[in-house]
């Protein structure tokens, strides 16, 4: 049996998975990974087919709660009413204010870590504002979110895991309290919007709202953090593309989409086979796990010409699968794009000659579990000070 040139999910693979993805797409587009007891799907068309066929491929019970398709569609409609485009647009001045405050803290230093000083903090603070968390409680909220991320990345010692479990209890207790407070005293925050959103006379239950708050904290924070970090690095190592972006501001949205395609912060998503089927010569049985590799699909040469090239002028970059597709498409995608657009624009506008640190390389961070995130744990940069 042919095996990929680099062991899947090894340190070498995670450092640069794209050569292995290319081999898999060409030689074994549906590959049985014995170590993870799953099938790895890497071609764009196959990945899109899995994502858009919920009757054949369902969620993994330990990762995403199972709901009948009709119930899930209704659930998404309710969520979309609360998290609509008008609401996201209203967040722009709030996000801009947070971005400026964070940059103010290090703009005079001439150096910073894009991740710890900025990208990890921005979505947490935005989410805290969205959920109506008072400023006095936001440092605690950030500590909870950071602990959650470190647990997904497997960076906790046994003692720290005990602290993490306490953190989860505190977090659930806080959200439960916040939900009850909004019942008595409605506000102009996301929790209140979730409580009042309706679709076909259906509403979200308290348990569903509580679950969503937890999901927002993990998915909403880490995906956006990864997008910002990956985007900054992609632009800094492609100087010509960066100069074009600075000269042509309209390319900013293209830069977001090309980053999502070229270096997706989410490697992929697992699905469960509902009924036996065949795919690319492999027999998949009911209950088998299929991992849809977004990052591999996003570099499929049958869809994207010169897929390994980072190109801001790519006409079809928006076809990427970084946010999924179908009924499980990431509902927070518009917010992630907005935060990344404001973040990248302001960083490059306010930090003259922004560049990667000459003596401190960035460090990758990979978190499995729910999102299979591949981002940066640190990304040191230098820049000129205006003084």
Q: In CATH, what number is assigned to the domain containing residue 332?
A: 1.10.630.10
Instruction: Report if residue 1 sits inside a domain.
Output: no
- Specify which of 206-210, 288-292, 367-371 reaches the highest per-range mean pLDDT: 288-292
Instruction: Provide the 8-state DSSP code for 116.
Output: I
- Domain that includes residue 130, residue range: 11-382
Instruction: Report if residue 5 sits inside a domain.
Output: no
CB 83 within 8 A of CB 209: no
Instruction: Report if residue 6 sits inside a domain.
Output: no
Q: pLDDT digit string (tens) for 293-307?
A: 999 999 999 999 999
**List of residues 6+ apart from 274 with CB closer than 8 A:** 55, 56, 57, 58, 286
**List of residues 6+ apart from 281 with CB closer than 8 A:** 30
Q: Outline where DSSP puts E strands in 34-163.
A: 38-41, 57-59, 111-113
For residue 371, name the pLDDT band (cuts at 50, 70, 90): very low
Instruction: Report if residue 387 sits inside a domain.
Output: no
Q: Which DSSP string corresponds to 287-310?
A: T-EEEE-HHHHTT-TTTSSSTTS-
Asked if residue 243 has pLDDT above 60, the reply is yes
Asked if residue 145 has pLDDT above 80, the reply is no
Asked if residue 374 has pLDDT above 60, the reply is yes
Instruction: Report if residue 4 sits inside a domain.
Output: no
Task: Please provide the size of the chain in residues.
Answer: 387
CB 339 within 8 A of CB 122: yes
Instruction: Report if residue 318 sits inside a domain.
Output: yes
Which residues are 32's β-sheet partners?
39
Asked if residue 319 has pLDDT above 60, the reply is yes
What is the tally of structural domains in the chain? 1
Give the pTM: 0.90
Asked if residue 224 has pLDDT above 60, the reply is yes
**List of residues 6+ apart from 286 with CB closer than 8 A:** 273, 274, 275, 276
Pairing assessment for the beta strands 289-292 and 269-273 based on DSSP bridges: antiparallel
Q: How far apart are CA 320 and CA 172, in angstroms?
A: 34
Instruction: Report if residue 277 sits inside a domain.
Output: yes
Report residue 372: phi and psi, to 5°. 50, 55
Instruction: Report if residue 3 sits inside a domain.
Output: no
């Amino acid at each position: 049996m042919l095996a990929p040139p680099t062991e899947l999910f090894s340190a070498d693979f995670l450092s640069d998975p794209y050569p292995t993805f290319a081999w898999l797409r060409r030689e074994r587009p549906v590959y049985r990974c014995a170590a993870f007891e799953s099938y790895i799907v890497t071609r764009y068309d196959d990945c899109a087919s899995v994502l858009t066929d919920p009757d054949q491929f369902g969620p993994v019970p330990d990762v995403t709660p199972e709901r009948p398709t009709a119930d899930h569609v209704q659930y998404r409609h309710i969520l979309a009413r609360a998290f609509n485009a008008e609401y996201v647009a209203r967040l722009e001045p709030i996000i801009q204010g947070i971005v400026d405050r964070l940059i103010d803290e290090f703009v005079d230093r001439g150096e910073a870590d894009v991740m710890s000083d900025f990208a990890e903090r921005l979505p947490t603070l935005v989410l805290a504002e969205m959920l109506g968390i008072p400023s006095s409680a936001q440092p605690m909220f950030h500590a909870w979110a950071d602990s959650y991320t470190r647990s997904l990345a497997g960076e906790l010692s046994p003692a720290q895991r005990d602290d993490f479990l306490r953190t989860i209890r505190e977090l659930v207790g806080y959200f439960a309290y916040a939900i009850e407070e909004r019942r008595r005293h409605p506000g102009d925050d996301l929790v209140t919007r979730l409580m009042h959103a309706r679709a076909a006379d259906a509403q979200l239950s308290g348990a569903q709202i509580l679950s969503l708050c937890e999901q927002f904290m993990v998915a909403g924070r880490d995906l956006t953090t990864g997008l910002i970090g990956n985007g900054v690095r992609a632009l800094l190592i492609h100087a010509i593309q960066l100069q074009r972006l600075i000269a042509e501001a309209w390319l900013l949205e293209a830069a977001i989409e090309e980053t999502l395609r070229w270096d997706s912060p989410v490697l992929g998503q697992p699905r469960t086979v509902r009924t036996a089927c065949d795919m690319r010569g492999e027999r998949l049985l009911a209950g088998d796990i299929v991992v849809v590799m977004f990052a591999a699909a996003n570099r499929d040469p049958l869809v994207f010409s010169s897929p390994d090239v980072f190109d801001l002028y790519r006409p079809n970059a928006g076809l990427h699968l970084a946010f999924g597709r179908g009924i499980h498409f990431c509902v927070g995608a518009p917010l992630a794009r907005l935060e990344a657009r404001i973040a990248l624009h302001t960083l490059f506008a306010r930090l003259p000659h922004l560049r990667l640190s000459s003596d401190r390389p960035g460090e990758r961070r990979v978190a499995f579990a729910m999102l299979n995130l591949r981002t940066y744990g640190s990304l040191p940069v230098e820049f000129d000070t205006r003084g």
